[in-house]
Amino acid sequence: MKGIKIEVNEIPLEGTHGKLISIKSNGVTAFTHGIHKYPAKFIPHIPRWAICKYGKDSQQVVDPFCGCGTTLVEAFLHKKKSFGLEISPLARLITKVKTTPLDPKLLKKSHQKLLENFHNLKKEKILWKPSDENLSKWFKEKTINKLAVLRSSIENISDIDVKDFFLVIFSSIIRKVSNAEDKSQKVYISSRFPKPYIDPFKTFFETLKEQERKMIEFSLTIKKLYGCFRPKEFLPEIIERDALSIRLSDECVDLVITSPPYINAINYIDVHKLEYMWLNLWPKEILNWVRKIQVGSDYISSKEMEYKPRTGVPSIDEFSDVLSGISPKHSFVFSKFYDKLKQNFKEVKRILTKGGKYIVVIGNNRMVGLEVPNNIFVKNLGESLGFNVIEEFSYVIKNRMLRIPRKGRGGDIGIDHIIVFEK
């Protein structure tokens, strides 16, 4: 969908159908939205628009692929109870921090404690460091030593919510202070343009200062809206599971908003392997399991290849057949993705009330040189399951950490498509 291009600060509630929208607003990182980079996250304008247009009377909002929690933050700010399903451990941690208001007095007190820990540990020579054999490849020696001081300083914070906040800030600087390129999905070291040394201490405390300001702004806004920092009945819930089995009752929600992963474009665990290395919160076995089962993964066992799923949607299955003639593996990855997405659509249909809306944000990418028109396939998939499409438009992606140097195999995704399904 190319449409007529219009420039706006916020997505208008009317007159968007068939349009290509360029959003001029720079409020993408307002409140806690910008606390940590995360690949392919959609901008807060999308769930904000969806809630204002389709969720005025909704009590609950669900995001089955919640990623780093953009939908949940916006739902919280609009006095809606929200549920987010996510299988990635780091994404769940980021979401938890982004949606957990902190009392400014406690935050200030904990900041002072962090500084005390920091100054006490600066001269320590024996501190925990990752045992990864490639540690010295990814980080300069003085960077390793300084990151170890920061990590140990945070470890001694007693309040778990504040500690998690500090950990996410710590995680957010890892790629920046490493030897790896920090504006690419692929974690690699450029031989042509080696990065200069970036001081972890300076970077961490500057980032912390800015994100503390935004967290306080978010927390005070929540207190003003609800009368307290932690309104029990409205606190967002993060569910540790994938989007194929939503443990909510039948016909219990009016609004579901999500952006599914891209096929064969992003391996969310590998993208953040340096952050996982330094956080040291999850066993490698868990990370390997997530890497294999995440929707859109290109990991396939030989046993899986014995049976390729069919969706029963002609446009999808025919495209899979075309891919099969070029690369059987890519054909399987494609079919597996849409088979899982079909399961997700069935689950969403089950939990939606009659007239409820499922708003899907999806981009088109490339596989083995072919453009994959996901907006058409997703539309066809939803319609095959009895959904009605009531609105479609697109928007231009700006600075969304989605540069994929894969020689055209993953494809640069410059436009997202918004499709509104109605049950």
pLDDT band at 2 (very low <50, low <70, confident <90, very high): low
- Asked if 11 and 21 count as a contact pair (C-beta separation under 8 A), the reply is yes
Per-residue pLDDT of 135-162, as tens digits, reads 999 999 999 999 999 999 999 999 999 9
Decide which of 41 and 202 is more confident: 202
CA–CA separation, 26 vs 214, rounded Å? 15
Angle between helices 160-177 and 89-98 in degrees, nearest 10: 120
Residue 226: which H helix or E strand, with range? helix 200-226
CA–CA separation, 173 vs 155, rounded Å? 17
pLDDT band at 412 (very low <50, low <70, confident <90, very high): very low
Closest to 60 (Cα-Cα) out of 341, 251, 344, 343 = 251
Per-residue pLDDT of 247-288, as tens digits, reads 889 999 999 999 998 776 567 788 899 999 999 999 888 888
CA–CA separation, 295 vs 299, rounded Å? 10
pLDDT at 222 over 60: yes
Q: What is the token pair recorded at 211?
A: 């994100």
Percent pLDDT > 70 in the chain is 92
Domains along the chain?
Answer: 4-99+236-422 (3.40.50.150), 104-226 (no CATH)
Going from the C-alpha of 4 to that of each of 10, 13, 53, the distances in angstroms are 17, 16, 21
Average pLDDT in the chain:
89
pLDDT at 307 over 90: no
List the end-to-end C-alpha distance of the chain, in Å, as a whole number: 23
- Asked if 323 and 222 count as a contact pair (C-beta separation under 8 A), the reply is no
pLDDT at 297 over 70: no
Average pLDDT over residues 90-118: 97
pLDDT band at 244 (very low <50, low <70, confident <90, very high): confident
Going from the C-alpha of 346 to that of each of 253, 277, 342, 383, the distances in angstroms are 14, 36, 6, 12
Decide which of 122 and 357 is more confident: 357
CA–CA separation, 118 vs 200, rounded Å? 13
- Asked if 390 and 17 count as a contact pair (C-beta separation under 8 A), the reply is no
Percent pLDDT > 90 in the chain is 64
pLDDT on residue 188: 85
Burial class (CB in 10 A: 0-12, 13-18, 19+), 66: buried
What's the one-letter identity of residue 213? R
Decide which of 413 and 127 is more confident: 127
Q: Which of 259-273, 303-317, 328-342 has the lowest mean pLDDT?
A: 259-273
Q: Is 60 helix (H, G, I), strand (E, B) or coil?
A: strand
Q: What is the token pair recorded at 384?
A: 């095959």
- Asked if 46 and 258 count as a contact pair (C-beta separation under 8 A), the reply is no
Average pLDDT over residues 36-52: 89
Closest to 235 (Cα-Cα) out of 57, 96, 29 = 96
The 8-class DSSP code of residue 195 comes to P
Q: What is the pTM of this model?
A: 0.92
pLDDT at 410 over 90: no
pLDDT on residue 4: 64
Residue 61: strand pairing partners: 82, 255
pLDDT on residue 3: 56
* C-alpha torsion sign, points 265, 266, 267, 273: positive
Per-residue pLDDT of 378-407, as tens digits, reads 999 999 999 999 999 998 876 544 444 434
- Asked if 185 and 273 count as a contact pair (C-beta separation under 8 A), the reply is no
Q: Which residue has the tokens 């929690």?
A: 69
- Asked if 103 and 219 count as a contact pair (C-beta separation under 8 A), the reply is yes
